[in-house]
């Protein structure tokens, strides 16, 4: 007899309106890991990292943010998807994830003002000229009309490349202060043309890129978008009600899911402290458009609370780093309690976390044990 399930809802398959079906409602969040090569081609360590989580039972496995243009790179060792030279590695990665039973999704992004000149070999660009009086800040220039048309085409080309490689879908990264967020921001976007001003202008780049991506891929291919609902960490100039409106527009533009990066899925909204973001976004989206929640979800109880508030799926970050078999263990062990760390580099290596990724994780308190 099979062991009892811990959560019937969490472990139930989830269908998307494009027709794709995830085996459960647990996703691996898109995580910077720096495990690929300088030219954006897939590294073996990145392959092992993602394949291991697919083998652990995650229903949907997202890659790190993959840059759609060479000048959109934000981190060393970042996976690229801007050229056909990336296809062999992407095909291997898509195949490995699918063979383990998960839906593989590539997160597509451009860093904008957060693409360091040392990485891209040029001055970074954004919605507007950005300069801040803080140490190490790199000024960014305002993008031209031609560049904005080109980057939309680049997102569509990257999505076609992901579909050609065999992935189940893509997610446009409209969160965390990168290019799309810079355009959405009331503080950072000071343009007076059709790409700025009111919310329809500031949302135009994300919407047109989403529409282009949807048109570029097969009907059964998943298209999603990630949003930051309000200001937090690197994000500034976002308003909760504007983000709700953007989510509704993206649903009309053809997304299959909206992925909320909440940082802490238990927190109420800043603008209306008596209200939680998940019910607000659920109410603004059609039933067929799935809502994914991410933010300090560690336990089955954490995940179930997010589902009860309106999420259709939860995305695990740190919990997935330390617990690659989280979904399988949650299904098989009614008393499953995930490890919270810190863990030694050797313990992390046993979980398919390479030394390069370990070094990156040292900036986050409580994950890597001091040796």
Task: Identify the residue whose tokens are 């960014």.
Answer: 140
Distances (CA, A) of 18 to 108, 231, 259, 341: 19, 31, 16, 38
Residue 222 and residue 20 in contact, taking contact as beta carbons nearer than 8 Å: yes
Q: What is the number of structural domains in the chain?
A: 1
According to the model, what pLDDT value does residue 112 have? 97
Q: Is 364 a domain residue?
A: no
Helix (H) or strand (E) segment spanning residue 172: strand 169-174
Residue 3 lies in a domain: no
Helix (H) or strand (E) holding 314: strand 313-316
Residue 67: strand, helix, or coil: strand
* Structure confidence at residue 370 (pLDDT): 83
Task: Identify the residue whose tokens are 């990145």.
Answer: 46
| Owning domain of residue 317 | 14-340
Asked whether residue 365 is assigned to any structural domain, the reply reads no
Taking CA atoms, 345 is separated from 46, 247, 296, 317, 340, in Å, by 16, 40, 22, 18, 14
Return d(Cα 214, Cα 207) in angstroms, integer: 10
Which CATH number fits the domain that encloses residue 97?
3.20.20.70
Q: Is residue 5 part of a domain?
A: no
Domain membership flag for residue 28: yes
What are the residues facing 223 on neighbouring strands? 170
Q: Which of 321, 302, 227 is nearest to 264 (CA)?
A: 302
307: its two tokens: 């589902």
Q: What is the pLDDT of residue 5?
A: 45
Torsion angles phi and psi, residue 204, rounded to 5:
-60, -45
What is the distance between the alpha carbons of residues 317 and 298, in angstroms, rounded to a whole number?
9
Q: Which of 6, 44, 1, 49 is nearest to 25 (CA)?
A: 6
CB 171 within 8 A of CB 226: yes
**DSSP, residue by residue, 116-167:** -HHHHSS--EESS-B--SSTTPPPBEEPPHHHHHHHHHHHHHHHHHHHHHT-
What per-residue confidence (pLDDT) applies to 4? 43
In-domain check, residue 44: yes
Q: Which residues of the chain have pLDDT under 70?
A: 1-7, 132-134
Taking only the tens place, the pLDDT of each residue in 296-316 is 999 999 999 999 999 999 999
Give CA 343 to chain center in angstroms. 25
Could you identify the residue written with the tokens 């976004």?
A: 281
In a domain, 148, yes or no: yes
Strand 14-15, strand 21-22: pairing: antiparallel
pTM over 0.85? The answer is yes
Please state, in angstroms and rounded to a whole number, the distance separating the CA atoms of residues 134 and 321.
32
Record the tokens describing residue 223, joined without a space.
């298209």
Structure tokens at 216: 């570029």
Is residue 178 annotated as part of the catalytic site, yes or no? Answer: yes
Tokens of 99: 């063979």
Candidates 49, 178, 257, 326; catalytic one: 178
* Cβ pair 296, 265 in contact under 8 A: yes
* Cα atoms in the 13 Å half-sphere on the side-chain side of 15: 6
Residue 50 counted as domain residue: yes
Note the pLDDT of residue 233: 79
């Amino acid at each position: 007899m099979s062991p009892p399930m811990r959560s019937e809802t969490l472990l139930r398959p989830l269908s998307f309106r494009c027709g794709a079906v995830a085996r459960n409602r647990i996703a691996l969040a898109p995580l910077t890991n720096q495990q690929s090569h300088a030219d954006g081609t897939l590294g073996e360590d990145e392959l092992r990292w993602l394949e291991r989580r697919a083998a652990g039972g995650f229903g949907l496995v997202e890659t790190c943010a993959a840059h759609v243009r060479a000048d959109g790179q934000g981190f060393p060792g970042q996976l690229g998807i801007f050229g056909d030279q990336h296809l062999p590695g992407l095909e291997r990665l898509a195949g490995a994830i699918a063979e383990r039973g998960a839906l593989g999704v590539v997160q597509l992004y451009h860093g904008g003002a957060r693409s360091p000149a040392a990485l891209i070999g040029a001055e970074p660009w954004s919605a507007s000229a950005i300069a801040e009086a803080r140490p190490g800040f790199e000024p960014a220039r305002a993008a031209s009309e031609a560049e904005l048309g080109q980057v939309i085409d680049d997102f569509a080309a990257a999505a076609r490349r992901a579909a050609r490689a065999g992935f189940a879908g893509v997610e446009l990264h409209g969160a965390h202060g990168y290019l799309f967020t810079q355009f959405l921001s009331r503080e950072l976007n000071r343009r007076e043309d059709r790409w700025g001003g009111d919310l329809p202008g500031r949302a135009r780049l994300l919407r047109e890129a989403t529409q282009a991506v949807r048109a570029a891929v097969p009907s059964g291919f998943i298209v999603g978008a990630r949003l930051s609902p309000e200001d937090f960490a690197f994000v500034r100039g976002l308003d909760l009600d504007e983000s709700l409106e953007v989510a509704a527009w993206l649903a009309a533009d053809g997304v299959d899911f909206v992925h909320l990066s909440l940082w802490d899925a238990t927190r109420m909204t800043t603008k209306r402290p008596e209200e939680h973001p998940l019910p607000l976004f659920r109410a603004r989206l059609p039933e067929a458009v799935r809502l994914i929640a991410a933010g300090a979800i560690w336990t089955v109880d954490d995940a179930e609370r997010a589902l009860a508030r309106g999420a259709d799926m939860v995305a695990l970050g740190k919990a997935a780093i330390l617990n690659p078999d989280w979904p399988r263990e949650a299904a098989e062990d009614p008393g499953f309690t995930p490890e919270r760390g810190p863990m030694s580099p050797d313990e992390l290596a046993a979980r398919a976390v390479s030394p390069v990724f370990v070094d990156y994780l040292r900036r986050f308190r409580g994950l890597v044990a001091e040796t």
